[in-house]
Each structure stands twice: as structure tokens, then as C-alpha cells.
Amino acid sequence: MSSKELSSEHKLVRVCLDNPFTDQKPGTSGLRKSTKHFQQSNYLESFVEAILQTLPGIEGGVLVLGGDGRFGNKHGIDVIIRMAAAHRVKKIITTVDGILSTPAASHLIRTEKAVGGIILSASHNSGGPDGDFGVKINGPNGGPAAESLTDAIYAKTTKLDQYLILNNESIPLDNPGTYSISTTNIEVINGIDAYVELMQKIFDLDQIRDFLSNDFLMAFDALNAVTGPYAIRLFEGLLGTPSGTVRNGVPLEDFGGCHPDPNLTYAKDIASLLLEGQDYAFGAACDGDGDRNMILGRKCFVNPSDSLALLTANATCAPAYSNGLVGVARSMPTSSAVDVVAKALGIDCFETPTGWKFFGNLLDSGQITLCGEESFGTGSNHVREKDGIWAVLFWLQILARKKCSVQTLMNQHWSRFGRHYYSRHDYESIASEKAQDLYTRVESLLPSIIGSSFASNKVAAADNFTYNDPVDGSITNRQGLRILLDDGSRVVLRLSGTGTQGATLRVYLERYISSNGNLTQDPQKALAELIQAIDSFAEITKRTGMKRPTVIT
Ligand code: VG1
Ligand code: CO
């Protein structure tokens, strides 16, 4: 391991900005823009300056820094190290090649008692010079920064007229090492080790290894993003699966052209392998920064809302949860499948707005053990982010214990709890104004449709979701339009906060069929009436000119 004090010619540069920096507020998880947008001079630096001036405890504190390996990652790390040193951070922990998944960063922030972390990623958005870049900010609990912090950072960006940066030679990221610049120590560590150790504590890997060695063939697609090295170490290393089990396992700056979004549209290769082929019994994929997961069985796609419900129902299969769960939570647009399980288990189930940051208080105060979102996000109190690889291991643990196929497990689940048919339809790249008009119109019509018919049911309630945080009493309003029908079905409409081109409209559809009803329909068929009803009510096709959604999940 190299240890080196770097050139003492650390000149402080105060760069005066020609124009005070103003830009959009950081959204659902950090600031996300096209790479080209980030390449404007002083843009990244200005945002980082605002973070460093706002995050409590920066001077003399520990900062965790890494990213998903996309184009701009190493440059970003270099800039942030020099700026954090100028702001007299005591220690910066960064990683070999800058590779650090979002859940692994969350874990490091917690174990190193850092004041926070900066993760360079645009998550599931594409990367490269023509793709997207992003800066995610995490607080001292390891979770995405609370809105009060991102608001304060944004406010700061509008008033900046200079930033502080040191001039020094770059820290090499190709090997572990320790360095010092001015009063700051920099540790370059392997970003995989601590995370793998954590997984070994949560799961019984020997049991999974035995199960996989019995002709249960699995495939994992890292989509050339951050999870490759984690997956190779865990699956091909500790679990002994054949080499090649991890596909696209080397992080590439442009993800090799992959769009690292684990869903049926963008992770088509692994989906076809499982849904059309016969060879594999289990398949999974994660997103750019490793916090999302998609689970597949032979001829079986597991809806993420069902995944959360199934993990909840079978949580005691994993050693870390063998004593049961204290409670669970789901984001509002996630289906109520987990609510039914929570009720059967006699534990609390909370409904939060979209975005992982809303689970933070519930996790920190010990009110929930598991939580999840319909957008391929599942996690637990082991970190404060959703965790893709953890979810894959959890599924494997349950399969290893139950010794059955994914489809059998799902069927057994539905025949016990009933099935929540569910789908999300995304309409991407709509002109922002059109999308806003559509949304505002629906919002204004909601009060008038209560009591009237919708599909073959009546509207029981219709509103814009408001969340009252049970821990700190804060109120977050306007989190999505809900149309709740008297048979328990519902449709939710939201505008995405993570897109970078125009607006994305998300339509979430849900219908419950009890355990003695038809549990094996195609979800799009089961939801056909609702799909039609919302299209005519919200005038989606008419106003966007789109005959079908860009992505159907
Ligand atoms: C999307 C998802 C949301 C998720 C967020 C960040 O937000 O719907 O559930 O928390 O992405 O995920 P939106 O506003 O586009 O619907 V990640 O993997 O980017 O950290
Ligand atoms: Co992500």
C-alpha cells in the first residue's frame, strides 16, 4: 500500500464565477443532468462548493466519496478531493477506480462515522459523453439527504460567487493507498470488501452455495455498471457459481452502451434468457449504482411490489431477520401486496412518498426492518439505501431454504394472500409543458369524480397524496394523484423527478384479486379496464400523441 504526502505546493485558488450559479433543485436523489451540462465550466465545482458549505461538520469531518464508474467519475473524484481538502475535511475515504455502489457507500458512511457522502452517479440513467451524470448527497445516517438539506444546498448555489480548490497532483486511484494534502488525509480503499463482509453477516452463504451447486443455474447481469465486481466476488467467488454467471461484469464509462436500468425494456437480454429460455432457474440485474434489482425466475418476472411482499412473508429465512420484523414500509405508488402480509404478521406497515429518503426516519427510529418501492428498490435496516445485490441474495436465501422455483414461490404466496395485479406505464420525453398541463388538469378534476364511475367501479376517494412523517411530524404534500376505487383498485399519476429529457409521466395501476379468484392472468389483461379508463380520463394519448407507453413494467 502506498503512503505519500502530496506536493506541498497546494495553492488555494479562489475562482470567481462570472455568473452566479443557478440551476434546478436537486430532485428525488441528487442533481442529475446530461454529461454535457455537467461539463460547463465551473458547474460541477459550484455544486460541490454549495454541498461543502452546507453539509454540517465538513471541516474536521470524514467524507465518503465514490461513484458508479461512469464517464466523469474519476474527474469528479479528483475535483471533490481537492475542494474538500480546501475546506479542511479531516479524512476522505474513496475507492480503487472510484468504484463504490450506493448501498456500499451508505454502509461506509455509517461504519466510518462520516458526516456524509458524495456518490457520483445518475443511477439508472445511461452514461458516457452523450449520457447523464449526477451527484448524490448522503447524510450522516448513510441515507439520501433530507429535503431540508438539498433545499439549503440549492439556496446556496444561487448565491455563490467563488469556490475553494487546491492545486495539487491527482491522487492515483489504481491501488489502495493513503495520502495527505494539507490537513486532509485521503484513504483509497477497496470499495468491495466491507460490503461483502456485511452480506456474509446477513445471509447464510453456505446454505445458498449448497443449493446453487444442485443444478440450480443462475445468471446475473451487471449491465457494465457498478455491481460487476461485487457480484463476481459474491456469486462466482463465495457462492461458487460458474465463471460467466455474472454478465457484463466490468464497469465501463459508457456501460458498453447498456442503459443500466433493470427492467423488461432496458435489461432485455437477461429478461429473454429467463422468460424465453429453459436453461436458467434464476436471473437478476441491478442498475448503474447498484441500488435497484430485478428478479426473474424461469418464465417468471417478479413484480417489485410482489418482491417486497414475498421477502416480508419469508424474512425469517435469513439469519439477520430470523427473529422477525418490527415493521415494514412502502412508497405510496407501490402495490398493497406488502400491506396484506404485514397485517397477517401483525406488524406495522407505513406508506411514504416516492424516494428512499422518506424511509430514513422510520429506519433510524427502529420502526421498520424492511422497505421498498415499486421502482425495483428493496432494502432493510442494514444500510440506509435500497440495495440491489442484497435483494438478490435474499431471494436466493429463501429459495435455498424452501428448495423450490421462483414461480412456485410466487404461486404459493398468491394462493395464501391473494394477488395484487400491478403495472407501471411510463411515458418518457414528453414536452414539459404538455405533461404539466395534463397533470394539472387531472389534479383539478379529482374532487369532481368522487362517487362517479371509473372502469366498472366507483371512485371512493381521489386526492394528491400528503405524507405526515410519524417520527418528526413534518408534512410533505403533493406527492402524486390517487384515484382509489371502491373495490380496492387504484390508479396513481406522478411526474418523474429523475428524468433529464422533458418530462416523464408515470401511471401506476393496481387491482386486487383474492386468493380464490383468477391468480394467473396476464397483468396487462387483468388491468385492461383501468388502463383504458385512465387514458380516457387523463387524455394521455390525446395530449401526448403517444399511442403506448415507452416502458411497461
Ligand atoms: C425514480 C423512482 C423512485 C426512486 C428514484 C431514485 O424516481 O420512481 O422510486 O426512488 O427514481 O432511484 P422518479 O421521480 O423518476 O419516479 V435511483 O435508483 O435513481 O437512486
Ligand atoms: Co440507482
221 and 113 inside one domain: no
Ligand 1 and 498: CB distance under 6 A: yes
**What is the structure's pLDDT at 2?**
59
**What is the CATH number for 328?**
3.40.120.10
Ligand 1 and 287: CB distance under 6 A: yes
176 and 205 inside one domain: no
C-alpha cell at 540: 394521455
**Integer distance in angstroms from the first to the last C-alpha of the chain?**
46
391 and 491 inside one domain: no
Cα 163 to ligand 1 centroid, rounded to whole Å? 30
Report the atom number in ligand 1 closest to the C-alpha of 506: 16
Cα 117 to ligand 2 centroid, rounded to whole Å? 15
Ligand 1 and 28: CB distance under 6 A: yes
Residue 18 in this model has a pLDDT that exceeds 70: no
Ligand 1 and 506: CB distance under 6 A: yes
223: left (phi over 0), alpha (psi -120 to 50) or beta: left
337 and 261 inside one domain: yes
**What is the structure's pLDDT at 41?**
83
Q: HEC states along 487-547? A: CCCEEEEEECCCCCCCEEEEEEEEEEECCCCCCCCCHHHHCHHHHHHHHHHHCHHHHHCCC
Per-residue pLDDT, averaged over 310-339, amounts to 98
DSSP string for residues in 403-461: TS-HHHHHHHHHHHH-EEEEEEEEEEEE-HHHHHHHHHHHHHHHHHHTTSEETTEEEEE
CB-based contacts of 538, cutoff 8 Å, min separation 6 = 438, 441, 442, 493, 507
Q: What is the mean pLDDT of the chain?
A: 93
Ligand closest in space to the Cα of 356? 1
**What is the structure's pLDDT at 218?**
97
Residue 172 in this model has a pLDDT that exceeds 50: yes
**Where are any strands of DSSP class E within 298-394?**
300-302, 327-331, 348-352, 370-373, 377-380
199 and 321 inside one domain: yes
Per-residue pLDDT, averaged over 214-225, amounts to 95
The domain tally of the chain equals: 3
Sign, Cα dihedral of 142, 146, 149, 154 = positive
Ligand closest in space to the Cα of 503? 1
| Residue after which a domain boundary falls, among 391, 417, 443 | 417
Report the atom number in ligand 1 closest to the C-alpha of 497: 14
Ligand 1 and 330: CB distance under 6 A: no
Model confidence at 516, in pLDDT bands (50, 70, 90)?
confident
Give catalytic residue positions. Answer: 123
11 and 58 inside one domain: yes
pLDDT in tens, 353-404: 999 999 999 999 999 999 999 999 999 999 999 999 999 999 999 999 999 9
**What is the CATH number for 440?**
3.30.310.50
Model confidence at 178, in pLDDT bands (50, 70, 90)?
very high
Q: Which of 2-11, 257-266, 521-530 has the lowest mean pLDDT?
A: 2-11
Cα 448 to ligand 2 centroid, rounded to whole Å? 38
Ligand 1 and 291: CB distance under 6 A: yes
**What is the structure's pLDDT at 6?**
61
**What is the structure's pLDDT at 323?**
97
pLDDT in tens, 37-82: 898 888 899 899 999 999 999 999 999 999 999 999 999 999 999 9
Nearest CA to ligand 1 atom 4: 355
Residue 288 in this model has a pLDDT that exceeds 70: yes
pLDDT in tens, 457-515: 999 999 999 999 999 999 999 999 999 999 889 999 999 977 777 899 999 999 999 88
186 and 210 inside one domain: no
**What is the structure's pLDDT at 215?**
86
CB-based contacts of 174, cutoff 8 Å, min separation 6 = 96, 97
43 and 57 inside one domain: yes
**What is the structure's pLDDT at 361?**
96
159 and 213 inside one domain: no
Residue 313 lies in domain: 195-417
> Dmax over Cα atoms in the chain, in whole Å?
75
**What is the structure's pLDDT at 272?**
97
Report the atom number in ligand 1 closest to the C-alpha of 292: 18
- Report the predicted TM-score, pTM, of the whole model to 2 decimal places: 0.93
- Burial class (CB within 10 angstroms; exposed 0-12, middle 13-18, buried 19+) of 321: buried
| Residue after which a domain boundary falls, among 157, 191, 225 | 191
**What is the structure's pLDDT at 19?**
52
88 and 202 inside one domain: no
What size, in residues, is the chain?
553
Per-residue pLDDT, averaged over 182-186, amounts to 93
| Higher per-residue pLDDT: 143 or 499 | 143
477 and 516 inside one domain: yes
Per-residue pLDDT, averaged over 441-446, amounts to 96
CB-based contacts of 137, cutoff 8 Å, min separation 6 = 26, 30, 51, 55, 116, 117, 118, 119, 144, 145, 149, 150, 153
**What is the structure's pLDDT at 227?**
98
| Higher per-residue pLDDT: 535 or 521 | 535
Nearest CA to ligand 1 atom 17: 123
Report the atom number in ligand 1 closest to the C-alpha of 355: 10
| Residue after which a domain boundary falls, among 170, 191, 212 | 191
**What is the structure's pLDDT at 8?**
43
254 and 132 inside one domain: no
Ligand 1 and 385: CB distance under 6 A: no
Cα 125 to ligand 2 centroid, rounded to whole Å? 8
Ligand closest in space to the Cα of 426? 1
**What is the structure's pLDDT at 27?**
61
